[in-house]
Structure 1
Amino acid sequence: MQLSNLLLVERRGDIAVVTINRPDRRNALGFGDDGDVVEAHLRELNADRTLRCVILTGAGTAFSAGGDLKQLSRWAHDASIRPPDFLKLYEAGIHKVVRGFWSLEMPVIAAINGSAIGLGNDLACLADMRLAAASAKFGATFLKIGLVPGDGGAWILPRIIGWERASELYFTGKIIDAPTALDWRLVGRVVADESLMDEAMAVAEMVCRQPPEVLRATKKLMRASILQGFEDIMSLSARYQVMAHLTDDHREALDAIHERRPPAFSGS
């Protein structure tokens, strides 16, 4: 499946490896038709019910260095662009990119192979699990270029590393290395650069052993828990559990346990 060169999608069994493919601009995102391209790619992934996990990484030496500074400079010096124009640019560009990755229904593993700065850092935070190469760097440097985190990062980042650490990244503009990111729980694991994709694939293969429909339902429950109260989640959990009880995969899981064999899940 290939809609454009911006995102390269490689299918490996039940896993899709999605590579941000703009290495000459350190995988900057959010301009031109990026929003539409990302949205189209990720809509196709969601529609593929045989897909169980996504690995997100970057081409070249960066995961994603965020926005394109040359484009931002052109905007800053273009007196013809008015506030409503900026709103449309963000809604059609960066916001579509972020919403696209947020909307992915299957588990997402970020394999952070280099710098994850600004929007790149926030995209990594939208993943469900994050593995960092030892050489990876992280930052939320919006203020250093005179901007706020306009990609939704003020909502995303504190939920991953807490208010204190998010404030430190935003208000100082500092860049942190992979061991610090691990200490701050920005990533779950740091591995050797050359082992990054092998480690990410190993985690993805473990994910793929789960029943695919309840895998997606569990992610939906976890995402809903961020936005809804306890009673709402209890009600939603009950409805999802009723559906799960009626699946062939539930019966298969129990049969496999009793018969002491690996389960063969069909997604039904």
Structure 2
Amino acid sequence: MTFLTHIREGAIVVLTMDQPQTRNALTGNTAVDEFVQACDAIRADASVKAVILTGAGRVFSSGGNVKDMQRFFDDALTPDRIREEYRQGIQRIPRALYHLDVPVICAINGPAIGAGLDLACMCDIRIASETATFAESFVRVGIVPGDGGAWLLPRAVGMAKAAEMAFTGDPIDAREALACGLVSRVVAPEALLDTARALAQRIAANPGAVMRMTKRLLREGQQASLESLLEMSAGYQAIAHKTADHREAVMAFVEKRAARFG
């Protein structure tokens, strides 16, 4: 059964997690492979300028399938094998999605729990429905964030709030998520996708190649030194100045007309 549905809307790709019967769980199915394949295809298609990620049904994603975790009780499944399973399994999603060089808007339609919350944190911009809730709930089931959540969540909400969420496992509602910076806006459920689309269209109106380089600089800026980022920025700028889109933007400004990007 397919986990991700793809809809192409001009320069925008809408990805929908479409297994509401499992609350869009990310394990025990083909979710990992499908996320990696989708990211690879988007990265290779220069005409894609923005991505929207959302979930079908009332839940964004419940994260790991707790029922599926019973198999870890098997003595034959050693800690070494489990570690490798995480490396070759769910950890491939943050490597693919977080490093995707196309801007990704997460439209959070309902609860984002455990790995579901971490999935949202892999995206660049998060918009929440008023019905959304968020929980870094791994501790509640006796495990740690195995998908990079301990790296992702503090970058979204700060260390103190991330520690509070991770140590208690307590959920927060959309209003609190907005207050702590986890999401950039909260909208009525019926307005969620239209809001995400409108934002994606504003992003897609800009030059695609420069957008991808801008995202890469923002990502690198979270961990690189200023000197390293300045050097990288100089190299990217040299490339940008030679693009047809830059020439078009400058000429449109000089000629007092709207730019027409490829």
The TM-score bracket by the shorter chain reads over 0.9
Contact 1:63 1:114 in 2 (8 A): yes
Alignment counterpart, residue 129 of structure 2, candidates 120, 129, 133: 133
Deviations 1:166-214 (A, max 9, x none): 0110111110100010001100000000000000000000001111100
Deviations 1:128-184 (A, max 9, x none): 111000000000001010001111111110011001100110111110100010001
Q: Determine whether 1:41 maps to 2:59.
A: no
State percent identity of aligned pairs. Answer: 44
1:162-201 matches, within 5 Å, as: 162-201=158-197
Provide the TM-score with structure 1 as the length reference. 0.95
Report the AA paired with residue 60 of structure 1.
Answer: G
Report the AA paired with residue 183 of structure 1.
Answer: A
CA distance in 2, matches of 1:32, 1:202: 32
CA distance in 1, matches of 2:231, 2:155: 23
Alignment counterpart, residue 21 of structure 2, candidates 21, 24, 28: 24
Q: Determine whether 1:221 maps to 2:217.
A: yes
Task: Report deviation, 1:228.
Answer: 1.2
CA distance in 2, matches of 1:81, 1:55: 37
Structure 2 partner of 1:69: 66
Provide the TM-score with structure 2 as the length reference. 0.97
Structure 2 partner of 1:143: 139
Task: Please give the secondary structure, in 2, of the residue aligned with 1:63.
Answer: coil
Alignment counterpart, residue 118 of structure 2, candidates 102, 117, 122: 122
CA distance in 1, matches of 2:221, 2:193: 30
- After TM superposition, the structure 1 stretch with the greater mean CA deviation from structure 2, 92-101 or 50-59, is 92-101
Structure 2 partner of 1:159: 155
CA distance in 2, matches of 1:193, 1:260: 40
Deviations 1:89-113 (A, max 9, x none): 2112110122111121110000000
CA distance in 2, matches of 1:35, 1:177: 27
Q: Determine whether 1:265 maps to 2:261.
A: yes
Q: CA RMSD in A?
A: 1.1
CA distance in 2, matches of 1:173, 1:39: 28
Task: Report deviation, 1:78.
Answer: 1.7
Task: Report deviation, 1:33.
Answer: 4.3
Structure 2 partner of 1:105: 101
Contact 1:131 1:190 in 2 (8 A): yes
Report the AA paired with residue 12 of structure 1.
Answer: E
Contact 1:33 1:93 in 2 (8 A): no
Task: Report deviation, 1:74.
Answer: 2.8
Contact 2:4 2:31 in 1 (8 A): no
Contact 1:143 1:173 in 2 (8 A): yes
Contact 2:20 2:56 in 1 (8 A): yes
Structure 2 partner of 1:53: 50
CA distance in 2, matches of 1:42, 1:30: 18
Report the AA paired with residue 91 of structure 1.
Answer: R
Task: Please give the secondary structure, in 2, of the residue aligned with 1:94.
Answer: coil
Q: Determine whether 1:10 maps to 2:4.
A: no
Matched residues, number: 262
